Amino acid sequence: MDKTVEERIRRDITENDVVLYMKGTPVFPQCGFSAAVVQVLSHLGVKFKGIDILVDPALRQGIKEFTNWPTIPQLYVKGEFLGGCDIVRDMYESGELVQLLAEKGIAAQAAA
């Protein structure tokens, strides 16, 4: 993998508590799976950095290699890979996501 891409990923997931690698932007997601994760995070009022991999082919390939995960979206919390859409959705529904965010000291409101 391109060294600059790897460094950029490391920097992004270190400098931001919650990072979502996605297709499109949080305001205009370009894929239903990315949109679903945005919806969960927004619903919980979690501040996150959305990174659109569609505008950067090197990053699009690079993030898959970096995480060893073949699909987008990918959610990182405090520098750790949490999962893709299925995992985020499962953890949200079971309440584990709110719990994990609380443990990591990230502001979120429990789903109403």
Partner 1 sequence: MNLPPRAPSMRYADRIHTKLTQALAPVTLIVDDQSAAHAGHGGAAPGGETHFEVTVVSTAFAGKSRVARQRLVYDILKDELAERVHALSLKTLTPEEVAQG
Q: Which residues bind partner 1 (CB under 8 A)?
A: 23, 30-33, 68-71, 81-87, 90-91
Binding residues: 31
* Tokens 């932007």, residue located: 25
80-83 and 74-77 beta bridge pairing? antiparallel
In the complex with partner 1, which residue's Cβ is closer, 45 or 95?
A: 95
Range list of H helices, the chain: 3-15, 32-43, 57-67, 85-94, 96-103
**Nearest CA to 41 among 19, 62, 71?**
19
Q: Kindly state the smallest distance separating residue 11's Cβ from partner 1, in Å.
A: 22
Q: Kindly state the smallest distance separating residue 86's Cβ from partner 1, in Å.
A: 5
In the complex with partner 1, which residue's Cβ is closer, 57 or 68?
A: 68
Q: Kindly state the smallest distance separating residue 5's Cβ from partner 1, in Å.
A: 20
24 φ/ψ sector (left φ>0, alpha ψ -120 to 50, else beta): left
In the complex with partner 1, which residue's Cβ is closer, 86 or 103?
A: 86
